[in-house]
Amino acid sequence: MHGLHPLLLLCCVAHSYGLGHEFRFASYYGDHMVLQRAPERAVLWGYGTNAAKVTITVLGIQQNTSHTVTVEKRIWRVTLDPMKPGGPYLLRAVQQSAEGVQVRNLTDVLFGDVWLCGGQSNMEMTLLQVMNASEELSDLTKYPTVRVFTAALEMSDMELTDLPRVELVWTLPSAGVLGGGNFTHFSAVCWLFGRYLYESRRHPVGLVESCWGGTPVEAWSSERALQTCGLAKPKHSFQNAGASWDNTVLWNAMIHPLLNMTIKGAIWYQGESNTEYHQDLYNCTFPAMIDDWRMAFHQGSGGQTSPVFPFGFVQLSTYIKRSLSDAFPNLRWHQTADYGFAPNPRMKNTFMAVSLDLGDEASPWGSIHPRYKQDVAHRLTLGARAVAYGEKGVSFQGPFPQAIRLQGEYINITYSEKVSVTKSHTAFEVCCSSSQRDHRNASFAWVRAPIVETSSNVVVLSTDKCSDEVAALRYAWRDWPCQLKACPVYSADHALPAAPFMLPVKS
């Protein structure tokens, strides 16, 4: 293990929780951690001696409070009073039993907002792998109240109570932790999201990473969630890069153990694996996973985590230039439950970062891993500010059609906001058919509908290449639809790209 960061030497030791009835906190807790601030109440739990009394005391300049509980089935659990953001605090756990008095302390504890970061390899990419890595890594000491924690990569055939291993205990940001390797230590998207949130909100932020590259959504979903989409638990659900992923194995080992903690919300970057597996079901499995996580975290925290906690996600970027496959466009659409935008009636209290304009053909880790993670995190942060924190006047969605009208040989698209448009002959396409159902047929021919005119929030397309009725319209429906930050339609300030869509057209 020579050369490993000292923190990782500490973290790689497996937890045999409850072994010998040791009095301690559960594996998720540690010095330097962030607990959820008011109005929610943080939950603490751990292991002890049956029938013993455990007293938890929060010691700080602003507030001292205590709670006493009895150990049952070798578990103790305390729900703290609501705490204002700030710190540091010392949390002291004292067990009194026939064996005597035992004390365990957590030092330098802050109260702020706790966000869970999940997904696959694009969430795993570290600051070492992003654009301007050196600059990002040199700035870390400016954010001592943004703290990070990483669950180790583990699978289980049954739901676990505690994390079997911890890869990174709670720690302050440093170049060694956030830039210690490729696809390891800590997520760049998660870190940048937390950092941008701190810059906006000025409260401590706790970031919990639980993700694994090459994984399908089914591995992160409970059996009950998958059953709502008609999926049973097979022996091997998905094979990728030599690994076999059974359904639920990551839910069991890397999400279920976290359910007792109180969180503010979650962000998610996943879907590439599902372009090859159960692609057509993602419009069910992804929303079902969100619903199930919300229910489970709410119940696990004793009602402290919101039953509709905010959930942000990244709509897939690009993979293969000049690809004719519909896999990535279809998955992007299914990520929104086939609405094209978020939040929507099926996916309430969600927010989405569009990233199809961030293609990176020169990425050393393959074009499926674009390096422009600052843009991804910035777009996620805008969504969190608007949806999770209710900030007024924060634009977080790109333009989306409010109305599509066919007038002769032209289509008028009225957008939800003012737009900045670059004329394109290829971005928009129409399906020409007497049946509006035909546009869902992947083999059906689509023809280009060039942009011929624009105004503040209207784009006019020509349909003169359509020899039949115009049944449907689609936008950016390609794996790699445009060059870097150069898609045809953005918000008027050019901050946010329009999301892709496929919608019917009525005369």
Produce one character per residue of 105-140: b if its CB has 16 or more CB atoms within 10 Å, e if not.
ebebbbbbbbbbbbbbbbbbbbbbbbeebeebbeeb
Q: Is the confidence at residue 12, as pLDDT, over 50?
A: no
- Domain contains 281: yes
pLDDT above 50 (res 4): no
21 — pLDDT class (breaks 50, 70, 90) = low
- Please give the C-alpha separations between residue 380 and each of 196, 253, 336, 391, in angstroms, as whole numbers: 10, 26, 15, 14
User: pLDDT tens, 203-260?
Assistant: 999 999 999 999 999 999 999 999 999 998 766 678 887 788 999 999 999 999 999 9
- 368 with 277, same domain: the answer is yes
For residue 161, what is the DSSP state? S
**For 67-90, how does the pLDDT look when each residue is reduced to its tens digit (9 = 90+)?**
999 999 999 999 999 999 999 999
Q: By the 8 A CB rule, do 389 and 310 touch?
A: no
Is 11 contained in some domain?
no
Residue 327 has pLDDT above 90, yes or no: yes
Q: Using 50, 70 and 90 to split pLDDT, how confident is the model at 37? A: very high
Strands 34-36 and 100-119: parallel
- Predicted pLDDT at 242: 74
370 and 422 housed in the same domain: no
Query: Given this model, what pLDDT does residue 218 score?
Result: 96
pTM for this model (two decimals): 0.93
Does residue 4 lie within any of the structural domains? no
Examine residue 354 and state whether it is found in any structural domain, yes or no: yes
Domain that holds residue 246: 111-388
Q: Indicate the range of 15-19, 161-165, 365-369 predicted with least confidence.
A: 15-19
* Averaged pLDDT of the chain: 91
Question: Residue 239: helix, strand or coil by DSSP?
Answer: strand
pLDDT reported for residue 61: 75
CATH number at residue 208: 3.40.50.1110
Decide which of 74, 109, 144 is a domain's last residue.
Answer: 109
Report the pLDDT averaged over residues 103-114.
97
pLDDT of residue 10: 33
Strand partners, 97: 100
Same domain, 116 and 104: no
- Average of per-residue pLDDT across 342-346: 97
pLDDT of residue 6: 32
Question: Which pLDDT score is estimated for 1?
Answer: 31
Q: Are residues 377 and 357 in the same domain?
A: yes
**Tens of pLDDT along 168-191?**
999 999 999 998 888 988 999 999
**Statement to judge: residues 334 and 277 lie in one domain:** yes
Answer yes or no: are the C-beta atoms of 263 and 116 closer than 8 Å: yes
Residues 211 and 167 in one domain: yes
By three-state DSSP, how is residue 439 classified? helix
Q: What is the pLDDT of residues 410-457, one digit of tens each?
A: 999 999 999 999 998 899 999 987 554 545 554 567 999 999 999 999
At residue 305, the pLDDT reads: 98
Q: Which amino acid is at 147?
A: R
Residue 338 lies in a domain: yes
Domain boundary among 329, 362, 388: 388
Query: Both 242 and 311 in a single domain?
Result: yes
The pLDDT score that the predictor gives to residue 7 is 36
| pLDDT recorded at residue 222 | 97
Count the alpha carbons within 13 Å of 429 in the hemisphere toward its beta carbon: 17
Same domain, 164 and 175: yes
Residue 473 lies in a domain: yes
Least confident of 57-71, 206-220, 373-387: 57-71
CA distance to 27, 55, 223, 275, 277, per residue, from 218 (Å): 25, 40, 9, 13, 10
Per-residue confidence (pLDDT) for residue 19, from 0 to 100: 45
Per-residue pLDDT band for 147 (boundaries 50, 70, 90) equals very high
CA distances to 54, 107, 153, 220, 227 from 14, rounded to whole Å, are: 25, 22, 12, 22, 32
Mean pLDDT of 465-474: 87
Identify the weakest region by mean pLDDT among 11-25, 66-80, 270-284, 309-323.
11-25
54 lies in the same domain as 198: no
Q: Is the bond into 88 cis (omega within 30 degrees of 0)?
A: yes
Which value, in Å, is the radius of gyration of the alpha carbons in the chain? 24
The verdict on residue 23 lying in a domain is yes
pLDDT for res 253: 98
CATH number at residue 104: 2.60.40.10
- 7 falls within a domain: no
Beta-bridge partners for 109: 89
Q: What span, in angstroms and rounded, lies between the C-alpha atoms of 408 and 420? A: 25
Same domain, 170 and 307: yes
> How many domains does the chain fold into?
3
What is the pLDDT, as a whole number, of residue 133?
A: 93
Please name the residue ranges forming H helices in 141-281. 175-178, 188-201, 223-227, 249-250
The answer on 187 and 299 residing in a single domain is yes
Same domain, 226 and 349: yes
| Domain endpoint, select from 90, 109, 128 | 109
